[in-house]
Amino acid sequence: MNALFLKEVKSYFNSLTGFLVILVFLLITGLFLWVFPNEATGTNILDNGFATLESLFYIAPWVLLILIPAVSMKLFSEENKAGTIELLLTKPLTELEIVLAKYFAGMVIVVFSLLPTLVYYYTVYQLGLPKGNLDVGGTWGSYIGLFFLASAFLSIGIFASSLTNNQVIAFILALMMCYLFHNGFEYIAEFNMKGSTSLFISSLGIHYHYYSMSRGVVDSRDVLYFLTLIIIFLFATRLILQSRKW
């Protein structure tokens, strides 16, 4: 499993895919937070005049919604197209170990994309008046929520990649499914439903739990939701691999 994990990580950085994803993520968030005027985006920290990173945690999910399907689209579809998936399945690895190795390799890219944004945190912390006038709890809660959101997107992306041998189709499937789980349930809940029903439908979506964690309260229910979603899609991917042996 470790060998496969290292192979996948090296494949990202040997092909510059990993560097490109990290660069694009930082470039887009940086432009929206520090460069584009507030009149156009409403997210410029300097124009807003408040020591807060709320803009980052509003923009980042939308950027990751596109970038993570781009990261995950090749994980299994490339193996399917090249015919190496059968060879991989003959290795002394279980289907779950194969899935986890590829999943954790993708998570390396996610973590390396999020870590540099701590510079934004330090900058806003220093810009506060007085220095340090920042909602630290809310900020770290948002970071934890963003990590879980990205982890969930990646599990969905890996599942989509296992369904096809075409990377473009895998990207589109992952994009649609990530969008559905991020915002789809919110839109469904708005269709004049009763309060309890609307709340239940909203709670099925990622946005509901991400927003809850961004308030600085890391509730076990939110963590359980993300872990459950991740496990469901990883085990679904495992079933897809197992079906090749039937």
Measure Cα distances from 226 to 3, 18, 156 in Å. 27, 24, 12
- CB contact at 8 A, 81 and 166: yes
Residue 194's pLDDT is 65
Residue 193's pLDDT is 63
In this structure, what DSSP letter does residue 111 have? H
Measure Cα distances from 111 to 16, 17, 114 in Å. 16, 15, 5
Q: Taking the complete model, does pTM exceed 0.75, yes or no?
A: yes
Residue 100's pLDDT is 94
The parent domain of residue 200 ranges over: 2-243
| Spatial separation of the C-alpha atoms in residues 202 and 184, rounded to whole Å | 9
Count: domains in the chain: 1
Residue 68's pLDDT is 95
Residue 1's pLDDT is 79
For CA atoms 100, 103, 109, 112, give the dihedral sign. Answer: negative
Amino acid symbol at 140: W
Residue 228's pLDDT is 96
Residue 234's pLDDT is 96
In the chain, which ranges are continuous DSSP H helix?
A: 2-14, 17-30, 38-41, 45-48, 54-72, 74-82, 85-89, 95-114, 118-127, 136-162, 167-179, 185-189, 195-202, 206-213, 220-243
pLDDT along the chain (246 residues), means of 10: 85 84 92 82 77 87 94 88 78 88 93 92 82 81 93 96 93 95 84 72 89 82 94 95 74
Residue 150's pLDDT is 96
Residue 163's pLDDT is 93
